[in-house]
Amino acid sequence: MVTIGGTHLTIADIAAVAGGAKVQLSGDEKVRERVHRSRRIVQDALSNGQQIYGVTTLFGGMAGHRVSGELLSTLQSVALWQHKSTTGPRLPAKDVRATMLLRANSLMKGVSGIRLDVIERYAIFLNADACPHVYQRGSIGASGDLVPLSYIAGAIVGLNPAFKVDLNGEILDSHSALKQLGLRPIILEPKEGLALNNGTAACTAVAALCTRRAFDLAALTLAVHALLAQALLATSQSFHPFIHQQKPHPGQVWTAQEMTRLLEGSRFIRVEVAGVRTNRDGQLIQDRYSLRCLPQYFGPIIDALIRVSEQIEVEANSANDNPLIDPDTGEIYHNGNFLAQYTGIAMDQLRHHVGLMAKHLDVQIALLMSPEFNHGLAPSLAGNVHLGVNVGFKSLQIVGNALMPLISFHGQAIVDRYPTHAEQFNQNVNSQAMNAANLARESLDLMEHYLANALVLAVQAVELRAHASDGSYDATAFLSPATRNLYIAARTAALAPPSADRPLLHDDLDHFIQPMVEGVLAGMDGGGAIHQSLATVYASAAAQASFSAKLMKMHCRRS
C-alpha cells in the first residue's frame, strides 16, 4: 500500500504502483486540511471579485479575455475538453497508472485549490485497476502534459462518454466505467479542470519507470561485462582500489569495487597483485582499453543515473500546476512550475548514457568475435570448427551492429529542438519532456534486445573457454561465484541447462539463433530467471559503501 501525501514518493513506489500496488490518500489531518484550505481560498477569492488565470479568464494567449460568473464551471470542462485532440499509440497501462499516482500526489500537496473528493478518484481508479485511454503523442511539456492529463481527467470525472477506460477486461465509456465503480460524474468547479491537466505527471511518470528500468539494465550490463572479461582472460588488476583512490569519482570507485567482487574466484581471470605476475607469452602486457578502462567509462554512467533519479524524484513530489495557492497566507501565485525541463533534460541524459552502455558492450563483443584479440577462441565463436562450414554467431554480431547505432541515435537530445510558437506565442519555450521520456522507453527496449544478444554471446564464449581449459563445455566451475547464477539462467533461457558435451551452439544447423535471443529476452523480464539472478549477483552489494548501498537498495530489483 503506497500512501499519497504530496511528499516522499520514490521511484520504487512509482514502479510498485505501476505494477499494480494499491494506494491510499494520506489520512494525516494536516495534509487534508491544506487541501481544504486551498480550495476555500479559491472560493473566497472569487467572492471578492479577484481575477485568477484560467479561473476567471481564458487560457494562455487568450488570458486577457474575462469569463462571466455563470460560465466559470463550464470553463473548467473546456480546459479538459479542448485537449481531446490526439491519436496514435496508446500509452502503456503501467505508464498511465504511474501518471495517475503522480497527479494525485501533486494535488495532495494542498496548493492546487481542488476538492479532496476529486483527488480521491485517482485512488479509486488505481485500486480498481481502471485504466483511462491515454496516448503517447500530443504533449510538449510546456503547460505540463495537458493532452495526456486531460484524457485521464476526462475519464475519472466522467466529463463525456467519449473518454474511454479499460476495466475488468472491457473497453468502457467513462460513464459506464464510473457506474461499475459505484460513482457518478463530477461537475467541475472553478480551478479544478486546470488542477487536473496542468502539470508534469505524465512525462515524469514515464521517466520514473524508465529510470528504474535503466538501473536494472545497468546492473545487468555490468554483470555481462564480468562474463565477457572472464571469456577474454582479463586481469583483475584494472580494478585494484589503489588505482581508483587516485581518481575517486563515486561511480568509478563503485564500478571498480563491483567488478572486483563480480570476478573474485574466477579461474579465468588473471590475478595480478604485489608479488604475483602472469606471463602473457608475448601478448600485450595490459588489457585493451575497453577492459582496462571499464571503471573510468562506466562510472560516469552510474553517476548520471543517480543524478537523473534524484531529479525525477524531486519532480514526482512537486506541485506543478498554475496558479498555485498558499493555504497559509491565502496568496495566489501565477507561475511556471508546469514546465517539465528537469524531466526532459533527465531523459535526454538517460538516453545518452544508455547509448554509451551499448557502445562499450559493442567493442567488447568485437574483441570476443575476433581470433586476433580473443586469446584462442574460434572466429565468431563458432562451436564445432572441425566441420568446416560453421560460422557461429556472425549474424548475431551483425544484428547488434544494427541495434547499437539505433540506441545511440535515440541518445540525441530533443529538449533543445524547435522553440515553439504554440498558443499565440504564449508557450514560447517548451521542454519536449514527454517526447524525451517516450524516446527513453524505446531506447531501453532496444537496449534490452542488445543485452539479450550480448548474453547469448557471453554464454557461448565462456563455454568455449571452459572447453579449451579442460574439455568440458559447462563453464559453471570456472566462473566466479557471483556470475554463475547469471550464466546458468541465461544458458537455460536460451536453450537448456549447461552441458559438458556441447556448447550453446555446436553446429550452426542445430538451432536457430532467434529463439535463443527470445528466450533470454523473456528471462530478462521482471519475473524472469535472468532478472531474478541479479538479486544473487548483487546480493552483497548493500553491505558495501554507502554509494553502492544506495544504488542497489533503490534500483537493483524491479517490482
Task: Catalogue the active-site residues.
Answer: 53
| Phi, psi of 150, deg, nearest 5 | -70, -35
Q: Assign residue 238 a region: left if phi > 0, alpha if psi is -120 to 50, beta otherwise?
A: alpha
CB atoms within 10 A of CB 133: 18
Spatial CA neighbour of 239 closest among 208, 206, 270:
270
Spatial CA neighbour of 304 closest among 169, 411, 455:
411
Rounded to 10°, the helix 93-107/11-18 angle is 130
332, β-bridge pairs: 325
Rounded to 10°, the helix 341-369/201-231 angle is 20
CA distances from 524 to 228, 393, 521, 554 (A): 18, 21, 5, 19
CA distances from 449 to 382, 443, 452 (A): 22, 10, 5
Degrees to nearest 5, angle at CA 302 with 92 and 289: 120
165, β-bridge pairs: 132, 172
Degrees to nearest 5, angle at CA 491 with 228 and 267: 45
- Is residue 37 classed as helix, strand or coil in its secondary structure? helix
Alpha carbon 422 to its chain centroid, in Å, reads: 29
Distance CA 189, CA 205 (A): 27
Cell reading at 152: 485521464
Cell reading at 257: 569495487
Spatial CA neighbour of 256 closest among 246, 243, 266:
243
CB–CB of 531/490 below 8 Å? no
Distance CA 214, CA 110 (A): 32
CB–CB of 67/191 below 8 Å? no
DSSP secondary structure string for all residues of 85-129? ---SSBPPHHHHHHHHHHHHHHHTTS-S---HHHHHHHHHHHHTT
Omega of the bond prior to 323 within 30 degrees of 0, cis?
Answer: yes
Distance CA 300, CA 285 (A): 27
Burial 475-489 (b: 16+ CB within 10 A, else e): bbebbbebbbbbbbb
